[in-house]
Amino acid sequence: MHKLYLRGILLLAAVSLITSCAKTPERVISPSVKAAVVQGEDKSWSIFFTGGIKNENDSTAFINIEGDILLVNDSGDELISIPFKIPAILPFETGVIKEKIDIKGEKAEKLFSMLAVSPDKLGAPDEPGNRFLDDKNVKLDSIKFEKKDIVKLLGEKVK
């Protein structure tokens, strides 16, 4: 009886240890950008970034997610930083990031060079400004979030 009790405690401890360690997102999924000319501004462009962050946990939801994504060139030099916020990502779901930033000057030149986009031709039929990004050009620089057990989170929403 004592051995059975001890095995039960060890099993419970092992399950608690495994489920309490939530896997943190490490990369951005399907990153892309669209560049557009800012109307009424000379040499100013809007960059629309789209991507996703996946929650690969089975019982942990992420809430109040904040972070920064870096776009880097092939040498690893930082081009621009894109801050983002996502209210919640449930288990096995992907939180969608859609952010817009405006850029000018040298930052714009370096980004357009990396994207192989001619800023003078943006908006023309042969240069819509859409580009999918290689994983090597996108870094999840920082991410902060609260972890919440999905059962508790859903229980709070029902009350």
Instruction: List per-residue pLDDT tens for the chain, 159 residues long.
Output: 556 665 656 555 555 545 457 789 999 999 999 998 886 677 889 999 999 999 999 999 999 999 999 999 999 999 999 999 999 999 999 999 999 999 998 999 999 999 988 888 777 777 778 899 999 999 999 999 999 998 888 888 776
What six digits make up the tokens of 156? 């709070």
Kindly provide the residue ranges of all beta strands, DSSP E only, lying in 20-93, ordered along the sequence: 29-37, 44-54, 60-72, 78-89
How crowded is residue 124: how many other Cβ atoms within 10 Å of its Cβ?
10
60 contacts 91 by C-beta, under 8 angstroms:
yes
Largest CA distance in the chain: 81
- In CATH terms, 20-158 corresponds, of 1.10.1740, 1.10.10, 1.20.120, 2.60.40, to 2.60.40
